[in-house]
Amino acid sequence: MLGSVAGLPAVYVGEAHFSVMTKTAETFVGGPPMVAQALGLTVTKQALGDWTVQAKTSGVVNNVADSEADAFAQIRRFLSYLPSNVWQLPPWAEPADDPNRREQSLISAIPRRRTAAYEVRRIIEAVADIGSTFEIAPLYGRAMVTMLARIDGFPVAVLANDCRRDGGAMTPAACIKAERFVDVADTFHLPIVYFADVPGFMVGPESEAGGIIRFANRVQAAVREATVPYISIVIRRMYGVASVMAKSDGMSLRYAWPSAESGSLVAQGGVMAAYRREIEAAPDPVARRLEIEARFQRMASVLRQPGLAQPLEIIDPRDTRPAIVDYLRKSHAVNATHLGPKLRVGMRP
């Protein structure tokens, strides 16, 4: 989108596998004159559908460009990861990066303090081929990071929870973003690499009103239906129903870092929900709650439950890139047997 895009062309924007707009462009179903006639409202084109609306608030548009040249450059970058059609595998490129590179920074990437935040993009960049990452929809559903990248020359689709945004929880927007990205990856046979640090699906009045139950079901369906190789690395948290994002069937593989923890509920909040009567009946309810939380927290460590939720191998964080490279090489031939359009049966919630 390089200018005003309205009506049917705006619908085409929503249908695209990738969309980009300049900061001087707008897109909407009906422009200011139609809005004035139909609703009696006076509104500008910018307020209706500039980049702050469509790329940040609604998520209709994936990326924003500073200029037309930048928009075309992003399109070329996006296409470089994809095959010419769905009957081909994504194009492999001779890597200049060592497939066995063990990035020392990964050993301390996760803070020792459980509630401390970190930049997950640094982890992705440390694992991917140097200079190969391209982020999709960075302004929308920001609790979920979606990137295209190359690992050992193989194009991959990268998912990661961003703990700096809503604690990394799967909000309605994050679910919508992840569902669409998984579908694009599956359509074009891109292996999926997921860095998991998810406390669960977002709770609360705003999340419920936003349709979290429906969108949680939809993203789960997208992950379940995907037939591409799918590797998950649990780097910190994997709690509740959101653990299904770490696919466990089909061509899937799951690893965990020693910093990983998991369970049905996060101890903080979950304990109060599950043990309310016991806590309220205790002589010191606060002390009792903290005692139960501490017990569950100790048991949450993946080091105490290595078989958690399907066999889950614990690896040194520095071995993440070599492990993914090994998986991509082994699954490449099998992935080639799933070429062609993806046929889905039934409907999503």
219-251: per-residue pLDDT in tens?
A: 999 999 999 999 999 999 888 788 889 898 888
Tens digits of residue pLDDT in 20-48: 999 999 999 999 999 999 999 999 999 99
Average pLDDT of every residue of the chain: 89
Domain termination site, one of 31, 47, 73: 73
**Do 113 and 254 share a structural domain?**
yes
Q: Is the pLDDT confidence value at 129 over 90?
A: yes
Domain termination site, one of 21, 43, 73: 73
275 located within any domain = no
**Do 218 and 192 share a structural domain?**
yes
**Do 213 and 157 share a structural domain?**
yes
284 located within any domain = no
Tens digits of residue pLDDT in 158-192: 999 999 999 999 999 999 999 999 999 999 999 99
**Do 165 and 69 share a structural domain?**
no
**Do 63 and 99 share a structural domain?**
no
The backbone region for 269, taken as left when phi is positive above 0, alpha when psi lies in -120 to 50, beta otherwise, is: left
Helices (H), the chain: 8-15, 32-39, 45-49, 51, 68-80, 120-127, 172-187, 205-209, 212-225, 267-274, 276-281, 285-300, 320-335
Q: Domain of 181: which CATH number?
A: 3.90.226.10
The 3-state DSSP class for residue 171 equals coil
184 located within any domain = yes
Structure tokens given for 175: 């679910």
Tell me the helices (H) and strands (E) count for the chain, helix number first: 13, 12
**Do 160 and 214 share a structural domain?**
yes
- 3-class SS string, 31-79: CHHHHHHHHCCCCCHHHHHCHHHHHHHCCCCCEEECCHHHHHHHHHHHH
152 located within any domain = yes
Confidence at 296, pLDDT banded by 50, 70, 90: low
Residue 342 pLDDT: 86
- In this prediction, residues 199-222 reach a mean pLDDT of 93
Confidence at 265, pLDDT banded by 50, 70, 90: low
Provide the whole-model pTM: 0.89
Q: Is the pLDDT confidence value at 307 over 80?
A: no
- In this prediction, residues 194-221 reach a mean pLDDT of 94
**Do 117 and 217 share a structural domain?**
yes
Q: Give how many domains the chain has, as a whole number.
A: 2
269 located within any domain = no
Q: Is the pLDDT confidence value at 310 over 70?
A: no
Separation CA 286–CA 245 (nearest Å): 34
Residue 298 pLDDT: 57
Domain termination site, one of 50, 73, 96: 73
Instruction: Say what percent of the chain tops pLDDT 70.
Output: 88
Q: What is the DSSP letter of 152?
A: T
**Do 251 and 207 share a structural domain?**
yes
**Do 217 and 90 share a structural domain?**
yes
Domain that holds residue 27: 4-73
Residue 146 pLDDT: 98
**Do 241 and 309 share a structural domain?**
yes
267 located within any domain = no
Q: Is the pLDDT confidence value at 294 over 90?
A: no
- In this prediction, residues 127-153 reach a mean pLDDT of 98
248 located within any domain = yes
**Do 319 and 193 share a structural domain?**
yes
**Do 108 and 56 share a structural domain?**
no
291 located within any domain = no
- Per the CB < 8 A criterion, the answer to whether 276 and 319 are in contact is no
